[in-house]
Chains A and B, each alone.
Chain A
Amino acid sequence: MTLEEKMRMRSPWIMHFDTGSCNGCDLEVWALLTPRYDVERFGAVNRANPKQADVLLVTGPVTKRCEDRLRNLYEQTPEPKLVIACGDCASTGAPFHNCYNVNGGVDKVIPVDVYVPGCACRPEALIDALVLGLSMWREKVQKMVGEEGR
């Protein structure tokens, strides 16, 4: 791993967005930053600003009202970025599947890189997803560098 790659891997800045979740998954996402799970040891900080974020943690089924905002936030996040769908709702819509006011899953609106199962998703699973996501991120970066090199 080159130094540049290492730097990119060691500093994933998070943005958390709630698209209509029941708050269960959000609490688990927040638990990541507490002393118990402490993802800051991997260099992750919550920036709450799409322009400065690398990883979008999206919770909840995407309601029709939230759709545009989610797309907006996704587009404002500079490449290379990573989208993690946290929880059953964000992955498939789960109990809200086929409701008239939800899209059912984040991937109906924006591309998702990692799905985290669970209702609510466990913080351990979220950390696993972050680690998995970062290895995918590395591939993305290499692809991006390749494209720019051409």
Chain B
Amino acid sequence: MEVITYILQLLIIILAPLAVGLGAGIDRKITARMQNRLGPPVVQPFYDIGKLLAKRPMLLSRLQVVFAGAALLFHAAALALFVAGGDLIVAFFVSGTGSICLVMGAFSARSPYSYIGGQRELLAILAYEPVLFLVVLAIGLETSFLVSGIGGGLLIALPLVLLALIPVLVILLEKSPFDVPTAHQEIMSGPYVEYSGPYLAIMEVARWFQLAFVFGLVTLFFWSADPVVSAGGKLALAFAVLFVTIIIDNITARLTRGRMVRFMLTVGVGLVAINLLVLFVIGQGAI
């Protein structure tokens, strides 16, 4: 029984980022259909990764590659911790270290565009990390900080917390209105600007791992005793959240970085706070 669980966990760790890649393909397809275009095939992100890996490597400094590798390792470790049923807070901090590695990688290149991208990525981290941390805390206070100990009822108890995760995902997926780090119209690839070929592929896969972790948080909200219903519901919930972010992406224009930080630190934090407050009041009343 133990062995089967381990194999299953390993499979999820490998398959989750691939699922995120597929989600990115679905995202591009849906966005294209919304703009009355045909759009690329759903597996396009995998074509891109394959091509990037096959390109001739060009690098500015060794340090950059070290940071790219570190980002990948940290994000993968965070996902592994999460899937293995470890501590949510530890997984959150490990994932945060991965994000910092991305910024360090951007700063390690002597390029103004990379610098601006790095600065903006720092601002984005400042915006989403507190909200993500509060989400983790809320989940932990409601049930347990250990992923393996989290049971059902999260969606009913913490609906606003799930809502607060949506803008976090908008930032992480680099979608408008909060696609500040990679602002398409001015600095193009932002922190990724000096990465090319295989190294860009590493960064991309690192991002898939990071997104897999955050989507993992989303899937925690659905729970059922039947494993098949549970898995289906988790997938459906993750897809629903992805769909909402796609719609937000397509109906909004990019806002300034100041507004992003302000929105997250007021509305994002506020949503979690209100949810916890209501829970507390109900809990007091019940006693």
The contact string, 1 if C-beta is below 8 Å from chain B, for chain A 36-79, is 00101111000111011010000000000000000000001011
Q: Is the CB of A49 within 8 A of B47?
A: no
A35 and B51 contacting across the interface, CB-CB below 8 Å: no
The answer to the question of B284 belonging to the interface, with a C-beta cut-off of 8 Å to chain A, is: no
Q: A48-B188, A52-B200 are in contact. Are A41 and B51 (CB under 8 A)?
A: no
Q: Which residues of A contact B197 (CB under 8 A)?
A: 78
* Cα distance, A11 to B46, chains bound together (Å): 10
B56 and A43 contact, CB distance less than 8 A: no
Q: Are A35 and B35 in contact (CB under 8 A)?
A: yes
Q: Are B55 and A42 in contact (CB under 8 A)?
A: no
Taken together as a complex, chains A and B put the C-alpha atoms of A42 and B32 apart, in Å, by 13
Contact of A43 among B35, B40, B188, B195 (CB under 8 A): B40
Q: Which 4 A-B pairs have the closest CB atoms?
A: A7-B50, A51-B196, A11-B51, A10-B47
- Is B58 among interface residues, defined by CB-CB distance under 8 A? yes
We find that the number of chain B residues with CB closer than 8 angstroms to chain A is: 29
User: What residues on A are CB-neighbors of B195 within 8 Å?
Assistant: 51-52
Given contacts A40-B40, A144-B56, 11 further A-B contacts (CB under 8 A): A11-B47, A11-B50, A11-B51, A35-B36, A35-B37, A38-B37, A41-B38, A43-B44, A49-B189, A54-B55, A80-B55
Asked if B39 is an interface residue, CB under 8 A from chain A, the answer is yes
Q: List 28 A-B contacts (CB under 8 A).
A: A3-B50, A4-B50, A7-B46, A7-B50, A8-B50, A10-B41, A10-B47, A11-B47, A35-B36, A38-B38, A40-B28, A40-B32, A41-B37, A41-B38, A41-B40, A42-B40, A43-B44, A43-B48, A47-B188, A49-B189, A49-B193, A51-B196, A52-B189, A52-B200, A54-B51, A78-B56, A80-B55, A80-B56
Residues in A whose Cβ lies below 8 Å from that of B57: 78
Instruction: Assess whether A43 is in contact with B47, with CB atoms less than 8 Å apart.
Output: yes
State how many angstroms separate the Cβ of B25 from the closest Cβ of chain A: 11
Residues on A with C-beta less than 8 A from B44 are 10-11, 43
Chain B contacts of A8 at CB under 8 A? 50-51, 54
Query: What residues of chain A have their CB less than 8 Å away from a CB belonging to chain B?
Result: 3-4, 6-8, 10-11, 13, 35, 38, 40-43, 47-49, 51-52, 54, 76, 78-80, 141, 144
Known: A41-B37, A78-B58. A51 touches B51 (CB 8 A): no
- Can you name the residue of chain B whose Cβ is closest to the Cβ of A12? B51
Q: B194 at interface (Cβ–Cβ under 8 A)?
A: yes
Residue contact B32 to A38, C-beta cutoff 8 Å = yes
For B196, list chain A residues within 8 Å (CB).
51-52, 78
Nearest chain B CB to A147's CB is how many angstroms away?
11
Q: Which residues of chain B from 100 to 124 have any CB-CB distance to chain A below 8 Å in the complex?
A: none
Q: Contacts of B36 on A, CB cut-off 8 Å?
A: 35
Chain A residues closer than 8 Å to B51, beta-carbon distance: 7-8, 10-11, 54
Quote the shortest CB–CB distance from A14 to chain B (angstroms). 12
Pair A51/B193 contact, Cβ less than 8 Å: yes
Distance A76 CA – B60 CA, assembled complex (angstroms): 11
Which residues of the other chain, B, contact A144 by a CB distance below 8 angstroms? 56
Over the window 210-224 of chain B, the binary record of Cβ atoms lying under 8 Å from chain A Cβ atoms (1 yes, 0 no) is 000000000000000
> Smallest Cβ distance from B22 to chain A, in angstroms?
15
What's the least CB distance linking B117 to chain A, in Å?
11
Please give the distance in Å from B31's CB to the nearest CB on chain A.
Answer: 10
**Min C-beta distance of A4 to chain B, whole Å:** 6
C-beta contact mask, B168-201 vs A, less than 8 Å → 1, else 0? 0000000000000000000011001111110010
Rounded to whole Å, the gap between the CB of A112 and the closest CB of chain B is 20
User: Could you say which residues of chain B place their CB within 8 Å of the CB of A76?
Assistant: 58
Q: Complex: how many Å from CA A109 to CA B40?
A: 34
- A48 CA / B183 CA spacing, docked (Å): 12
Contact of A79 among B40, B41, B48, B56 (CB under 8 A): B56
Report the Cα distance A78→B197, complex, angstroms: 8
